[in-house]
Amino acid sequence: MRQLLGSQRRELLVKWIERTGSVSALEAATALGASVRTIQRDIEELSTQGRLTRVHGGAVGAGRRTAPASAQLRLGILVPTRGYCFDAVLAGAEQAAAASGCTLVEADYDYTDDLAAARYARITSLELDGLLVTPHLPAATWGQLCRTDVPVVLIERPWELTWVRDLDPATSVAAARSPVDHVFTDHEAGSVLGLDHLAALGHRTIHCLIRDTPTAPALLRTASAYGATIAPARDVTLGITRLRRSADQRSVLTSALEQIFRDQEPTALFVHTDEDAVAAREFLQDRGLEVPGDVSILSYDDGLPSNPAGGLSAIAPDRVALGKRAVEMIIDRLCSRGHHTHDVHPPTKLAIVPRLHQRSTTGMQI
């Protein structure tokens, strides 16, 4: 790169800030082939001229600081439903918002497309500084979301797996290019943690029963890979049953369990969801089998308001942490980095690994 004149370099800095909202002295030095100290002097001169505002580590547009104080921020959070796991997500978001002093506006849409569109329109009409969303939205609402002019943090569901099915090509391209941050549960790691736990207890015949939920694809994918690679090396036989959604979910589970115990004699069940794990325990006890003496049960969710008597052993996604980190992430985007700075600070994906809570339904297989 040919050496730029000082005036050329300073004009490029001004254009950079006009385009992205901020500039880092270190990144500008690398991009423009100058030393950090030279860029800092350029920033000082442009600040004196009133063409930008100098901040720690770089500069932002003239007349504005890096971002508003967090206490001035208004954030919206839109989740599919209240109750079950999303109460914990909202609790975490509320804790982080209270700690920072910002305002949190909450809405849910009960997995209903019309209500989702209405709630999204309502919440985005409130002059928010940022938006936190769990994606389960109709295509038209996705189109609006991926073109929004405020920072967005997605909670839990992968963006790319949600929009690609339903959006028109133009909106799909816009969604793919939209700079959003994302905090989510690493369900693959949680699934491996659960299967490893059962194998470490000595179980050599394990069966996974996975209810058809938004979490199911990750669990099924991981169980299949585990069964093909890790299980044979540990002399483990791993079966997998996907439980379809039904108005009578108990009957679907019962039929699946009857088939499983006709075909094999598993000593451990890895079950998603909690309700299915509770029902599986009752199924076994009704047939004279002890839990965990004869069959261990490990649940994937740990989302019941109160764990049943005896306590299910469970792999527990930390949903409070999801809500907290989502709010912290968007405050960081707004306060530390400024608006619309993803060109300088790329979008962040944060995976939170679930925990194992060993209670009374898993035990050693002798």
The CATH class that applies to domain 6-61 reads mainly alpha
Q: What is the reported pTM? A: 0.75
What three-state secondary structure class fits 69? coil
Q: Which pLDDT tens digits describe the chain residue by residue (366 residues)?
A: 467 778 888 999 988 888 877 788 878 888 888 888 888 889 888 888 888 887 666 787 776 544 445 667 889 998 887 777 788 999 999 999 988 888 898 888 776 767 767 777 787 777 788 889 887 655 666 666 766 777 889 898 755 444 444 555 555 555 555 667 889 999 999 999 999 999 999 999 999 999 998 899 999 999 999 999 999 999 999 999 999 988 898 999 999 999 999 988 999 999 999 999 999 999 999 999 999 999 999 999 988 765 554 589 999 999 999 999 999 999 888 876 544 455 556 778 899 999 999 999 999 987
What type of residue sits at position 356?
A: L
Asked if 118 and 88 touch (Cβ cutoff 8 Å), the reply is: no
Q: Where are the domains of the chain?
A: 6-61, 70-186+321-352, 187-317
Hey, what are 145's tokens? 């979301």
Residues paired with 268 in a beta bridge: 206, 296
- Cα–Cα distance, 24 to 318 (Å, whole number): 34
> Could you tell me if 95 and 84 are in contact, meaning their C-beta atoms sit under 8 angstroms apart?
no
> Position 68: which residue type?
P
Query: Per residue in 273-294, pLDDT tens?
Result: 999 999 999 999 999 999 999 9
Amino acid at 3: Q
Say what angle helices 187-200 and 216-228 make with each other, to 10 degrees.
Answer: 50
Provide the CB-side half-sphere exposure for 98 (13 A, CA): 7
- N-term to C-term CA, the chain: 70
What is the CATH code of the structural domain delimited by 187-317? 3.40.50.2300
Cα dihedral sign, 191-197-198-199: positive
HSE at residue 136, side-chain half, CA atoms within 13 A, is 17
**270 phi, psi to nearest 5 deg:** -110, 110
* CB 243, CB 253: distance < 8 Å: yes
**What proportions of the chain, in percent to the nearest 5, are helix, strand and coil?**
45, 20, 35
Residue type for position 134? T
CATH number at 70-186+321-352: 3.40.50.2300
Q: Which phi-psi region, left, alpha or beta, contains residue 336 (left: φ > 0; alpha: ψ -120 to 50)? A: alpha
Q: Are 194 and 356 in contact (CB under 8 A)?
A: yes
Do 6-61 and 70-186+321-352 show the same overall fold? no
Would you mind telling me the total number of residues written for the chain in this entry?
A: 366
Q: Indicate the SS3 state at residue 101.
A: coil
Give the type of residue at 54: R
Do the beta carbons of residue 89 and residue 79 sit within 8 Å?
yes
